[in-house]
Amino acid sequence: KAGVTQTPRYLIKTRGQQVTLSCSPISGHRSVSWYQQTPGQGLQFLFEYFSETQRNKGNFPGRFSGRQFSNSRSEMNVSTLELGDSALYLCASSLDLSTGWMNTEAFFGQGTRLTVV
């Protein structure tokens, strides 16, 4: 079955602009999470959406926002871009964590490489 699809793969933006990244989860997966990966920081959790509702949120400023649509596709938006926002943004999907830890395996997309200049 198709994996997690993230678009675009690469993006270059200038400071102050805004950007929207898209994630299509694996068919049937209802949970979508977003992570930011920067050198030396590992993967930092941004937020998680389940059934169109934000269920968890990481420690990022309000410039980072997201949403999930009824088909489980998710978008992430970053407004007023800063140089430090340059990173690999990864989306992960999973079935439904409320059923227990056996279903908590998350499948990642290839990521969107955002460069802010």
Partner 1 sequence: DQQVKQNSPSLSVQEGRISILNCDYTNSMFDYFLWYKKYPAEGPTFLISISSIKDKNEDGRFTVFLNKSAKHLSLHIVPSQPGDSAVYFCAASADTGNQFYFGTGTSLTVIP
Binding interface with partner 1 (CB under 8 A): 4, 6, 31, 33, 35, 40-45, 48, 50, 55-56, 58, 90, 92, 94, 97-98, 100-101, 104-111
* 23's tokens: 């994630």
Residues 66 and 77 sit within 8 Å (Cβ to Cβ): yes
CA distances from 83 to 17, 52, 58, 78, 87 (A): 11, 30, 20, 12, 10
Percent of residues in the chain assigned helix, strand, coil, to nearest 5: 10, 50, 40
